[in-house]
C-alpha cells in the first residue's frame, strides 16, 4: 500500500493544479496521507505539510508526486539520467523513475492523528542516509539475483 491521499471522487487532473496553485500562493498545503509505505518514518493516517521544491532537492528528502489519482510521499533515494528514483521506507523496491517535473513538492512536516508533530525528528537527517543505503543494498541484491537468473537460463 502506498502512502497516499487523494480526494476519492476527483481525478488528479483536477486536484493537482489546485494543489500547485495553493503551494504557489500560500507556500504550503496540509494534506492527509493513508498507507504503510513510509512506516516507520510516517505513521498511517497522518497529515503532511507539502511545501514547494527548493532549487536543489537533497537525496533523502520526502518528495510528493501524483501517481494516477493518488498523492504519494516517498523518499528521494537516487538521481540517474535526469530522472529521480523514489522509494517508500517500508518498500523493498523503488517506484518507477520520475521526471523531476512530476514532483509537486516536499514533505515539510508530518503530524500524527492526535495533532502532534511526528516528523522531522532530531534524527531525521541521519536516518535519511540509512534509507538511502538500504535502497542501494537492495539494488545490489536485485542485480545479483537477475545476474544469477540469467546465467541459470543460459545453461
User: What's 93's DSSP letter?
Assistant: S
Record the pTM. 0.88
Tell me if the domain spanning 4-154 has CATH number 2.10.109.10: yes
Nearest C-alpha neighbor of 69 from the set 21, 3, 1, 7: 7
Q: Spell out the domain ranges in the chain.
A: 4-154
pLDDT on residue 69: 83
pLDDT on residue 4: 53
pLDDT on residue 24: 93
How do the pLDDT tens digits run along the chain, 155 residues long? 345 554 444 567 788 888 899 999 999 999 999 999 999 999 999 999 999 999 999 999 999 999 888 899 999 999 999 999 999 999 999 999 999 999 999 999 999 999 999 999 999 999 999 999 999 999 999 999 989 988 788 87
Which whole-number Å values give the CA distances from 69 to 7, 8, 10, 65, 131, in the listed order? 8, 8, 8, 10, 26
pLDDT on residue 41: 97
Q: Count the Cβ atoms, other than its own, within 10 Å of residue 72.
A: 24
- Concatenated DSSP letters of 36-65: STTTTTS-TT-EEEEEPPPSSPPTT-EEEE
Let me know if 52 is exposed, middle or buried by CB neighbors in 10 A (0-12, 13-18, 19+): middle
- Concatenated DSSP letters of 114-137: TS-EEES-TTHHHHHHHHHHHHHH
pLDDT on residue 10: 53
pLDDT on residue 136: 97
pLDDT on residue 12: 74
Q: How far, in Å, CA of 72 to CA of 70, rounded?
A: 6
Amino acid at each position: 500500500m502506498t502512502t497516499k491521499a487523494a480526494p476519492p471522487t476527483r481525478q488528479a487532473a483536477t486536484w493537482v493544479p489546485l494543489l500547485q496553485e495553493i503551494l504557489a500562493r500560500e507556500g504550503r498545503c496540509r494534506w492527509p496521507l493513508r498507507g504503510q509505505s513510509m512506516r516507520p518514518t510516517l505513521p498511517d493516517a497522518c497529515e503532511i505539510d507539502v511545501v514547494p521544491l527548493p532549487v536543489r532537492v537533497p537525496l533523502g528528502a520526502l518528495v510528493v508526486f501524483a501517481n494516477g489519482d493518488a498523492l504519494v510521499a516517498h523518499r528521494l533515494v537516487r538521481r540517474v539520467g535526469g530522472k529521480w528514483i523514489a522509494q517508500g521506507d517500508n518498500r523493498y523496491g523503488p517506484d518507477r523513475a520520475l521526471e523531476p517535473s512530476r514532483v509537486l513538492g516536499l514533505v515539510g512536516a508530518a503530524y500524527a492523528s492526535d495533532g502532534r508533530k511526528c516528523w522531522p525528528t532530531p534524527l531525521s537527517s541521519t536516518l535519511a542516509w540509512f534509507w538511502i543505503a538500504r535502497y542501494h543494498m537492495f539494488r545490489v541484491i536485485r542485480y545479483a539475483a537477475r545476474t544469477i537468473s540469467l546465467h541459470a537460463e543460459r545453461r
